[in-house]
Structure 1
Amino acid sequence: MQSLRVILAVAKKDLSTLFRYPTWFISVIIWPLIFPLLYILTSFAYAGPDKKGLIVFQKVAGTENIMGYIVIGTMVWMAVNITMWNYGGYLREEQLRGTLESNWLCPVNKFSILLGAGIISMVLSIMFSVIGIIEYRLIYGIKFTGNLIDWIVVFLILFPGVYGLGMIFASLILWAKEVNAAVNVARGVMMILCGITYPIYIMPNWMQALAKFLPFTFGIQAARDILIMDKTLLETAYNLILCSGEGIIFLALGMLIFKLVEKRVKISGSLERF
């Protein structure tokens, strides 16, 4: 019960801060439109005047809905990116504000503080995805398949991996005192390996092997199966199982690393160091 009160208190504080300065909402509206447009225009440019490149891409991707294929991959990637920046850098931001050390002295489970911080990232990710789907449908004219329940299941299965990765980043950043470099490297690796704009099968075998160690690779494919390929949850069960299984491993690893870093900062007394 005490942990629940801590989680809700942290979430309430962060949500109050978020909605007190609502200019961030502009980026939530604009970015879903701008980011995939770069890849969509590039794909049409590389296809050539006769569009033969698109025909090849359609055969490899397994769908004629190229725009839908791209926007779903970028939408999932942006949700992961939001979590890495907000959730992954949460403890470091509290440290820069000067509030982390006093919060750390409270007689509560420190992991509850991190879980409370995850709620704000969840809210942002959900808003981003919902607004993105609406904009893609109305502005890009992309037709999505499946039903709302299937969509929710896919995004829920993505959450363990997303928050496991966020915990890993939050812990390592608290120890290393650096956010930008770590997040930029990780999101660059995911952009290449997870196939946000192309099937992973066109990559070399060793890169495909690395891609299969990331739950987002399977989560993105499951989202495409449901949203544009008109498949059921059962038909994409392979991707869902691997995404959830690897996500749980990431989550357990994030909890372990957090405990180790928590012990280290207690011994070294480094919370106040910048």
Structure 2
Amino acid sequence: MNPFDDIPKINHWLDLENREKFSACIDLKQIKEPQPLKKVIAAYELSPKVYCGIASCHTAHHKGFLVELFDGSETIVGHCCGKKYFGRDFTVEKNRLTKLATDKQNYEIITRFIKNLSVHKNEFNNVFNENELNCGFKKLMLAVIDFNTVRTNISSQTFSNIGYDGEVFQLVRKSDKDIEIERVAGQGQLIETHQKHIIAKINHFNLLFQIDKFYQLKDYFSNLFIFFERHGRGFTSNQLKQYGKLVKDFDNKLYEMKILAKQGSNLLSKTNLEK
């Protein structure tokens, strides 16, 4: 059962008119309460315009709220009229409803996700366990264990040096003439006797600096699945907000993991290093 089912959906004027206690026109003077507002029931946006249910107002509007008064009756007020006629009580109730509506939306998103939890786990496993992609992850993990060792190994394979940006280069000694010209121009300053000669550039080399993304993604999926497997369907408002956002990010995170894995697989491929 959806705990938010008591928030009615108002899509048409008839949704209001068919409510048992609804009145299209109410005189607030007839309600013997200092503050006549009891509850803001629901928000709506209707077309064509409807008229405010306060007898002294009747302003036409598209956006407004269905409200319950202390005498048990219901009517509607425009989104600008509510505070004018009900003061701070309206603001408090409107904020409560807004939060409740957000919780409802997150609850429905989470419920759909839990219903298809096994499908989503398979989607993740298909990406993570695919041979090519998993190989890419393993290469990334091994590479970052000792980044300097990786650079040394790559350099030994290419008989060159490699910079942190993935540029493969050799240091070539300058001619004596060029060194002398620079020495004179530099007025005795220290002169570099070698210059960098770029041979190639290794694609995706900067991925080594982004390995934390892999761990963040892995933790994201692990925490998401574990929470829903253990927790069931009872959620606090904070949990609805937190996990509603996480569920909304699922497809993007899955795509990000797939791209990262492919890049990792390509990074240390023979073709890439043989440049």
Bucket of the pairwise TM-score, normalised by the shorter protein = under 0.3
Q: Which has the higher helix share?
A: 1
Q: Which has the higher strand share?
A: 2
The answer to which structure, 1 or 2, has the higher relative contact order (CA under 8 A, 6+ apart) is: 1
Q: What TM-score, normalized to structure 1?
A: 0.23
